[in-house]
Chain A
Amino acid sequence: MTLETFQLLSPEFILLLAGLVVLCVDLIWRDEAQKRLWVPALALVGVGGALLATLLLWGTPPTIVLAMMAVDPFALFFKIIALGTVGLVLLAAVPYLQGRTPYRGEFYALLLFAGLAICLASSAINLISLYLAMEFLSITSYVLAGYLRGDLKSSEAGIKYFLYGAVTSAVMLYGMSLLYGATGTTDLAQMAAALKKGGGSLSWLAVVALIPLLAGFGFKIVLAPFHQWAPDTYEGAPTPVTAFLSVGSKAAGFAILMRVLLTALASVRWNIGWMTFLGALSIISMILGNLIALRQTDIKRMLAYSSIAQAGYIVIGFICLTLERDDAFLGINGTLLYLFAYLFTNLAAFTAVIAFENATGSTTISDYRGLVRRAPVVAGVLLIALLSLAGVPGTAGFLGKLFVFGSALQLGVPLTFTLALVGIITSVIAAFYYLNVVRYLFFEPAEEGAGSLAVPAGLRFGLALTAIGILVVGLYPQPFIRLTTDSIQMLAAIF
């Protein structure tokens, strides 16, 4: 291992180190009061360091490290998303864990490891490293989802997530073994070459392998019909973990999906290829997620169904990617832009939900009545987040929708027209349930005697940061469009 390898994988190493330090400090240090402050601070420093290292790597030429990992703009983009998510979730988790569990140190360490897993997954260019990274992410996530031992719902969330995860992982592994059997290699680039050389008979097998693979990726992305775990897990898991799953874990799924389909399976896109399959999954997700979300009374459950629907929108951009490199609507940059917007938007929503849950212990939507009088900042940020989820102009969410629908129209084949049409119709439906929350926040009076809510400084910081993020991306999008357009550079991708 050379020094250059260390440098190229510095974000991962920093995260690993930070996780281990957090574990050790938590083990050795006896002073509970001091620990409560310093352990999360250490974790945050680790995330900050890793983020800095990632940004420093920006601009280095795409390189393959250890034959298993690629350091290219595409991977770096997802590392930024992963680290941003972990940092914001950490901020929100500190007050949340207080009084809920005595085992806080491990939580932060696990969160750092989960972030590390996403970083690894976004770089993986070999079926082996890819599968290991995904399992690493899954296992840390299972533990995190079931972290509140005394809480039945949290345990249910962990178990349900684990059962679904184990099954889809096995199914996915079956698909991978088919691909390996057909091509004799686990390297994504070589696989693409073998498939190309093999011609018709092999590509037929690739289509067969595609379906189990999509089950594994769809599980992580929360794409219907592989979404069944999401509502219960989102509802039961500790809310910061739900926030992490809905953004970080989803982003990891997208990174892997796009890399595998654009390198190894690039030749089976058209006809009965992944474009059709993903298109169908996208349509089902948009319709099902939005329709079921209409009837939810728990905000975490509602956000779970909204997350299914959003996955359907995000994947449109990838389905509609084009070869015209000189145009702005490349499709895939729409997906990245949407993910970037979704990072701020969904974390803003979840930070607000955590702030409310912390003060009142409730996640029922009707308990949010009159929140604007009780905690105007929380209500205001939640309003901005919900408008962004609904795709109202001026927010980041609008930009994401503009780019994915734009690419769908630009490609202009019947499938993509259908996607755009279903997309806009369902986004009107979505506006209804997002605004239903706004109705409680602003229209309904608070209950008698309900006082104002205390919001800890860390949460206030998180709320401000995410809200500013939503508005900046929404109103001054040029740098972010550039960032995402630069980030579509992927090693060995066949466009």
Chain B
Amino acid sequence: MDYLLTLITFLPLVGVLLILLIPGEEERTIKRLAIGLSFIPLLLSIYLWFAYDKGKGGIQFEALSSWIPAIHVNYHVGADGLSIPLIFLTALLTTLGLIYSSYTITRRVKEFFLLFLLLETGMFGVFVSLDLVLFYVFWEIGLVPMYLLIGIWGQPKDRPQYSAIKFFLYTLVGSVGMLLAILGLYFYHGTFDILELAEVGYLFNGISWLATLAFWAFFIAFAIKVPLWPFHTWLPDAHTAAPTAGSVILAGILLKLGAYGMMRIALPIFPAQFKYFSTEVPIIPILALLSIVYGALVCMAQWDLKRLIAYSSVSHMGYVMLGLAATAAAWGVDRWKDAAAMASNGASLQMFNHGIITGGLFFLVGVIYERAHTRDLQNFGGLSKMTPYYYGIFMVTALASLGLPGLAGFWAEFFVFRGAFQIMPLFAAIGILGVVVTAAYILWKIVQSVFLGDFDAKKWEEVTHGARLTDMLAFEKVTMWPLVLFMIGFGVYPTPIIEFFNSFAQKLLGG
């Protein structure tokens, strides 16, 4: 019995209960308590990072005890090379989000910090669960705080109430289908355990239509969360409406829940179905390509900076799915083993990097929005001269996002395409188009229209009603620097994190 993961998962919940007891007027105490408490899971997740035995691989820090014995539901948690970086990412982005919010959230402080910590428990729970019912419980519990975060602290002009319910219902539609599939698996195999189910091999006693149905139930639930085209339409609304820290968590972590579900459940339990729909009936790679290309093209047409970054997530998460499709297509084919591992590593790496980079981009949008109270790209221009510090940080993040070699984003795309070219050359070739369009919208739309050109003081005065244009403040730098360091650090030397993902990929592909 190892209590480490349990401790990480439920510490934020302790924070929730403590904050509940503090009167709402004690805003400073609440903020300090929330931030202070969030450091404990962060430190523990760093410990987790170094304590994990990569040489041995597989699930470690496992804890198993009976939860609902009547239906064989266990409290089964554990972490492996895939989940540990994501647990760390969750802890990091939550702490940064809390720090950032402690300066920017002035309304209903108690509720905000309480919900944020509740959300953290939900996210940790998904990454550590090894039991389908437990997974499902955490998967849904996270919905409620995020729904409230979007609805309460969203900007009125972004229709937060509409976006919040849309976010909730989209996820719910997917997950009720998943619930039926979970029950179906239980009735045929007598267990909810993810690891045991992955060993079964002969799903639903060979009734293939049932297996296919169950696969699609899981796949759609995860695809909505990823989000894969055409299930993505909740994303631009939710990301745009959410408060800055909420958008960071949405893009940084919640989208990863979907991709994580693909890698932890859909692919290991249903490899045959995943492979079939990646090769013979290639729906999955086609949807991935549509996400990549469509998302990027929509970005070209966006003038709202936050919406643009939201759509860029659709495009970037498409690479994850392309990598997964390639991994699935190579399932059981010996000569493609290395390529499959590479595609899988690329997909995992893209998950982590997208969290760091797009999370950072949303923080940076928050920085400019706090000053200008507008996000219309046509209102900006020439900020490089006025706010050089902001310009510098933004450039690193934006270039990382378009995949510039030397920054973290590059390796993920490199591995995905390196793997995919060998396995599905045509799809990979089309996918490369996305990279080109990405470079175009990042450089042309964002960098050029926000930072380059001349600063028009009169126009600024007009659109912002005389807001003062200051460079980044100390707390904004504090939130951004850890992310920038990771972008550069993993860009120059990605080995430490790839080792994690590779240990997962080797186990997944039976190495």
Listed in ascending order, the chain A residues whose CB lies under 8 Å from chain B are 328-329, 372, 387, 392-394, 398, 402, 405-406, 409-410, 412, 420, 424-425, 427-428, 431-432, 435-436, 438-439, 442-443, 477-478, 481-482, 485
Is B71 a contact partner of A328 (Cβ separation < 8 A)?
yes
A428-B152 CB under 8 A given contacts A409-B183, A410-B187, A435-B165? no
User: B429 on the interface (CB 8 Å rule)?
Assistant: no
Most buried by A among B143, B164, B176: B176
Cα–Cα distance between A405 and B175 once the two chains are bound (Å): 14
A148 vs chain B, min Cβ distance (A): 36
Is A387 a contact partner of B161 (Cβ separation < 8 A)?
no
Interchain Cβ contacts under 8 Å between A and B, 6 examples: A387-B144, A394-B137, A398-B137, A406-B71, A428-B169, A435-B165
Contacts of A412 in B (CB 8 A): 187
B13 vs chain A, min Cβ distance (A): 11
Is B168 a contact partner of A431 (Cβ separation < 8 A)?
yes
User: B69 on the interface (CB 8 Å rule)?
Assistant: yes
Is B71 a contact partner of A329 (Cβ separation < 8 A)?
yes
Is A420 a contact partner of B180 (Cβ separation < 8 A)?
yes
Is A485 a contact partner of B151 (Cβ separation < 8 A)?
no
Cα–Cα distance between A83 and B111 once the two chains are bound (Å): 36
Q: Which 5 A-B pairs have the closest CB atoms?
A: A393-B137, A424-B176, A481-B70, A443-B151, A328-B71
Give chain B interface residues in 11-51, CB to chain A under 8 Å: none
Is A406 a contact partner of B183 (Cβ separation < 8 A)?
yes
List the B residue with the shortest CB-CB distance to A440. B161
List 14 other contacts, CB 8 Å, given A392-B144, A409-B187, A435-B147.
A387-B144, A393-B136, A393-B137, A394-B137, A402-B183, A405-B179, A409-B184, A424-B179, A425-B176, A431-B168, A431-B172, A443-B161, A477-B68, A481-B70
Is B70 a contact partner of A405 (Cβ separation < 8 A)?
no
Is A328 a contact partner of B148 (Cβ separation < 8 A)?
no
User: B200 on the interface (CB 8 Å rule)?
Assistant: no
User: B177 on the interface (CB 8 Å rule)?
Assistant: yes
User: B478 on the interface (CB 8 Å rule)?
Assistant: no
A432-B169 CB under 8 A given contacts A402-B179, A482-B70? yes
List the A residue with the shortest CB-CB distance to B173. A428
Cα–Cα distance between A435 and B186 once the two chains are bound (Å): 30
Query: Which one, A406, A432, A442, A482, contacts B152 given CB within 8 A?
Result: A442
User: B346 on the interface (CB 8 Å rule)?
Assistant: no
Q: How many A-B pairs with Cβ below 8 Å?
A: 79
Contacts of B143 in A (CB 8 A): 392
Listed in ascending order, the chain B residues whose CB lies under 8 Å from chain A are 67-71, 111, 136-137, 139-141, 143-144, 147-148, 151-152, 160-161, 164-165, 168-169, 172-173, 176-177, 179-180, 183-184, 186-187
Cα–Cα distance between A271 and B75 once the two chains are bound (Å): 41
Cα–Cα distance between A37 and B140 once the two chains are bound (Å): 44
Contacts of A420 in B (CB 8 A): 180
Is B183 a contact partner of A439 (Cβ separation < 8 A)?
no
A442-B148 CB under 8 A given contacts A392-B140, A481-B70, A482-B70? yes
A393-B141 CB under 8 A given contacts A478-B69, A481-B68? yes
B114 vs chain A, min Cβ distance (A): 11
Cα–Cα distance between A405 and B177 once the two chains are bound (Å): 11
A483 vs chain B, min Cβ distance (A): 11
A450 vs chain B, min Cβ distance (A): 16
Query: Which one, A328, A372, A424, contacts B180 given CB within 8 A?
Result: A424
Contacts of B161 in A (CB 8 A): 439, 443
Contacts of B160 in A (CB 8 A): 443
Is B151 a contact partner of A442 (Cβ separation < 8 A)?
yes
Is A435 a contact partner of B168 (Cβ separation < 8 A)?
yes
Contacts of B184 in A (CB 8 A): 409
Cα–Cα distance between A427 and B176 once the two chains are bound (Å): 9
A431-B137 CB under 8 A given contacts A405-B179, A442-B152? no
B465 vs chain A, min Cβ distance (A): 23
List the B residue with the shortest CB-CB distance to A425. B176
Cα–Cα distance between A292 and B143 once the two chains are bound (Å): 26
List the A residue with the shortest CB-CB distance to B20. A380
Cα–Cα distance between A425 and B151 once the two chains are bound (Å): 24
Cα–Cα distance between A443 and B184 once the two chains are bound (Å): 38
B262 vs chain A, min Cβ distance (A): 21
Query: Which one, B140, B141, B165, contacts A439 given CB within 8 A?
Result: B165
B113 vs chain A, min Cβ distance (A): 15
Most buried by A among B136, B148, B173: B148
A439 vs chain B, min Cβ distance (A): 6
Contacts of B136 in A (CB 8 A): 393
Query: Which one, A424, A425, A478, contacts B68 given CB within 8 A?
Result: A478
Query: Which one, B144, B173, B180, contacts A409 given CB within 8 A?
Result: B180
B488 vs chain A, min Cβ distance (A): 40
Contacts of B164 in A (CB 8 A): 439, 443
